[in-house]
Amino acid sequence: MKHLVPLLLTVGLGCSSKGDTAQPADVVDSSTEPVVSPGPCEDVPTVTYSSFGEGFMTENCQGCHASTAADRYGAPEGVTFDTVKEVWLWQERILARSVGDNISMPPAGGVSKDDRTKLEWWLTCAEEGG
């Protein structure tokens, strides 16, 4: 019996409704707005195929990745960037190989950090084909 008294007091206090402002865990306080982190494209300038992508691809990629390239220097036959549609088909691979920490394209280098940043903005933030 002496072990039941503390248990009963604990259970009894837990059920008191006087001054109890606790809410079930699934009740959300609607008076506060959720914190939303800005997306990666929120403060990025608009970069499009016509303003940047077409020239970038011609200057830095078409030497090997044009369907008409005389010598593709080992670029796979099916990987061509002749049109904006083709570029978007390869968007993820272009990003993986041309921006970030593991840059391997173009193999001869020569692309400025600013141009790599614009490439990332374009392929990440523009609408597909844009």
Asked if residues 123 and 94 have their Cβ atoms less than 8 Å apart, the reply is yes
How much is the pLDDT for 13? 45
What would the mean pLDDT of 86-110 be, rounded to a whole number? Answer: 94
| Length of the chain measured in residues | 130
Task: Dump the DSSP string for 90-103.
Answer: THHHHHHHHSSS--
The tens digit of pLDDT for each residue in 14-64 reads 444 455 454 445 555 555 666 555 677 988 899 999 999 999 999 999 999
> What are the tens digits of pLDDT across the range 48-60?
999 999 999 999 9
- For residue 16, what pLDDT is reported? 45
Dist CA 118 CA 48 (whole Å): 9
pTM above 0.75, yes or no: no
Query: How far, in Å, CA of 45 to CA of 24, rounded?
Result: 45
